[in-house]
Amino acid sequence: MAGSPSKSPAIELEQLTLISDEAPDLFGFDSGFRRKFGAVCGIDEAGRGPLAGDVFAAAVILDEGVVIEGINDSKKLTEKKREALFDEICSKARAYCIASASVDEIERLNILQADFLAMQRAYNGLGMQAGIVLVDGNQLPQLDAEMKYVIKGDARSASIAAASILAKVSRDRYMKQMAEKYPQYGFEKHKGYGTKAHYAAVDEFGLCEIHRKSFFKKYFEKKESHG
């Protein structure tokens, strides 16, 4: 079970190795930690914000000298590019694992603790220990490892960027599968996020099994108050 969020000093911007004034060297960033701690594991999640579906997390360890072109702008990548990078990351990583926490676990634990649970599962599924674990964001799961959080880590660390892509692609694939099971909601388009089309579908068809019911509490209360 996921523990309480741990706190760790954020990685300061000046610690970054820069290719230029604008572009941080994601692989150089990891190299600095690798020299001090050994194997570097990056962890990131996908799916904390949506109204439906499981939350996913990925853990990735890249060896020194491994370069994967194009992961620097992981938030700006097209779906096609993410899919191509997914295969490259899986083939080049020393170790990786993708895991999830279910909608039931999200409802039972809350989204933060379910997110941490997915991260725990991803890290524990690597089959090896890392010298240090870099986690995107500003909070940490409970892991048996040295950890640092890195704010906007997918734009700073190669291992976090790689984990971000694996988690995002895996969750998008999962939501497309859910769209086949529940075609009336358009999950293949909005991936469970709170778009106008998604809310309109909920108004028409109600909630399905993969909706996070607690996320709709305020929405339904507001609807009731307006008659």
How many Å apart are CA 221 and CA 195, to the nearest integer? 18
Q: At 206, list the tokens.
A: 């109600």
**Which domains, and CATH codes, for the chain?**
13-174 (3.30.420.10)
pLDDT at position 130 is: 98
pLDDT at position 122 is: 99
Nearest to 162 by CA among 32, 80, 43: 43
Digit-coded pLDDT (tens) for 49-97: 999 999 999 999 999 999 999 997 677 899 999 999 999 999 999 999 9
How many Å apart are CA 58 and CA 56, to the nearest integer? 7
Nearest to 117 by CA among 43, 180, 213: 43
Cα-Cα-Cα-Cα dihedral sign, residues 97, 43, 105, 181: negative
DSSP code at position 10? P
Kindly tell me the burial class for residue 51, based on how many C-beta atoms sit within 10 Å of its own C-beta (0-12, 13-18, 19 or more). Answer: buried
Q: At 96, list the tokens.
A: 């990786």
Angle at 130 between CA 127 and CA 134, to 5 degrees: 120
How many Å apart are CA 124 and CA 97, to the nearest integer? 8
Nearest to 145 by CA among 131, 124, 157: 131
pLDDT at position 224 is: 75
Nearest to 161 by CA among 49, 40, 19: 40
pLDDT at position 218 is: 87
pTM confidence score: 0.88
pLDDT at position 33 is: 98
What's the distance, Cα to Cα, between the start and end of the chain in Å? Answer: 41
pLDDT at position 9 is: 45
SS3 content of the chain, % helix, strand, coil (to 5): 50, 15, 35
Judge whether 118 and 45 are in contact, CB under 8 Å.
yes
Distances (CA, A) of 22 to 42, 137, 175, 212: 22, 21, 35, 39
pLDDT at position 225 is: 75
Q: What is the pLDDT along the chain (227 residues), one digit of tens a residue?
A: 334 444 444 444 334 333 333 446 999 999 999 999 999 999 999 999 999 999 999 999 999 999 999 997 677 899 999 999 999 999 999 999 999 999 999 999 999 999 999 999 999 999 999 999 999 999 999 999 999 999 999 999 999 999 999 999 999 999 999 999 999 999 999 999 999 999 999 999 999 999 999 999 988 888 777 65
